[in-house]
Structure 1
Amino acid sequence: MVQQLKTPPRLRSLRNLAVEATGGAQAQAPERPSLSLLIQFDFNSARVRPQSQQALLNLSQALLTPELASSRFAVEGHTDAKGNEDYNLKLSAQRAQAVADFLKARGVTEERLVAAGKGATELANSESPYAPENRRVRIVNLN
């Protein structure tokens, strides 16, 4: 878990080095280290089910390790495509906040966490928009 969330080592820059994209393509920034957790919540609720608490305990311990202690993290709540878009955004934000609150209660400082709801805007399984893996919480290293 720690390895998945660590930022890659920074490379030293080289002077007078020009990089040009071929074919008009723009270079994309590397994706930030992240971890998706299938956290179970009560139906239509932001209450974390007891069977998901161990995963969150493991996450809180990982975030408190020396390798991650200085990093900030986004806690993103995601839903499947079932239901109203506005409702899904609100529910996913509440679930992200519930996970952030759980982590804060275990010693992760509030300044290190930013909770946000994404609703069904970024499905993990776009082939099956109602699949359980779309109902998740994603932790993203912001450093």
Structure 2
Amino acid sequence: MSAIRSLLICTLLALSGAAFAQATTPSTEQMIQQLRTPPRLRSLRNLTVEAVPADAGGSAVQATGVAQAQERPSLSLSIQFDFDSSRIRAESLAALSNLASALSSDALLNSRFVIEGHTDAKGNAEYNRKLSDQRAAAVRDLLVSKGIAADRLVAVGKGSSEPANPQVPLAAENRRVKIVNLD
């Protein structure tokens, strides 16, 4: 009886996980909007004036020719892998299919991307970096199999070095794949 009960519980958890993944999967259009680079405009708006501490006889205002660097457009996805593996689970295929469609869109067709693998802080840091590297490569390979040119994608494992939630190093949101537009 307990074996049947365990099987039933595992089945329900798997189904609820798949339903959760479907409910939280961004659409292709949402991914395009998130990854699109803002248009570059030519103007004098790159000239900024900043207040700086006045030194002896110096001015308290300094003009700089470069605006503060903006963060590149990116998208974090919760991609599920088999435990201690780089094998992508079935419940993540819909999100990756949407990502392949987004990367194939006219809006992103000429852009290059970094696929970053991230882990939580559980376990050895070097092991986590290698596993995250393998997982990023698995996502890249899947995207290439869906028609995305390999020279547009770079896979990098970050391990637990850049947590999404630094206050809780073991949090589930730290285990993710982040897509960053390089252009």
TM > 0.5 fold call: yes
Q: CA deviation at 1:20?
A: 3.4
Asked if 1:63 is matched to 2:103, the reply is yes
Q: CA deviation at 1:11?
A: 1.3
Query: Could you list the per-position Cα deviations for residues 16-55 of structure 1 after superposition, in whole angstroms to 9, with x for gaps in the alignment?
Result: x843332369953000000000000011000000000110
Asked if 1:19 is matched to 2:48, the reply is yes
Aligned to 2:138: 98
Taking the TM superposition and a 5 Å limit, the aligned residue runs for 1:19-98 are 19-23=48-52, 28-98=68-138
Query: Could you list the per-position Cα deviations for residues 71-114 of structure 1 after superposition, in whole angstroms to 9, with x for gaps in the alignment?
Result: 00000000000010100110000000000000000000001000
2-structure distance, mates of 1:77, 1:18:
36
State the TM-score, normalized to the length of structure 2: 0.74
Aligned to 2:162: 122
Task: Tell me the number of residue pairs that the alignment of Structure 1 and Structure 2 aligns.
Answer: 142
SS at match of 2:180: strand
- Any stretches of 5+ residues in structure 1 without a counterpart? none
Higher relative contact order (CA 8 A, sep 6+): 1
2-structure distance, mates of 1:41, 1:28:
37
1-structure distance, mates of 2:68, 2:42:
19
Aligned to 2:149: 109
2-structure distance, mates of 1:18, 1:66:
32
Pair 18,139 (structure 1): closer, same or farther in 2 beyond 3 Å: closer
Q: Which amino acid aligns with 1:47?
A: R
Aligned to 1:9: 39
Pair 142,18 (structure 1): closer, same or farther in 2 beyond 3 Å: closer
State the TM-score, normalized to the length of structure 1: 0.93
2-structure distance, mates of 1:6, 1:31:
12
Pair 127,18 (structure 1): closer, same or farther in 2 beyond 3 Å: closer
2-structure distance, mates of 1:142, 1:19:
25
- Any stretches of 5+ residues in structure 2 without a counterpart? 1-30, 54-61
Aligned to 2:26: none
The structure richer in helix per residue is 2
Could you say what the CA RMSD is over the residues aligned between the two structures, in angstroms? 1.9
Q: CA deviation at 1:126?
A: 1.0
Q: Which amino acid aligns with 1:129?
A: P
Q: CA deviation at 1:135?
A: 0.5
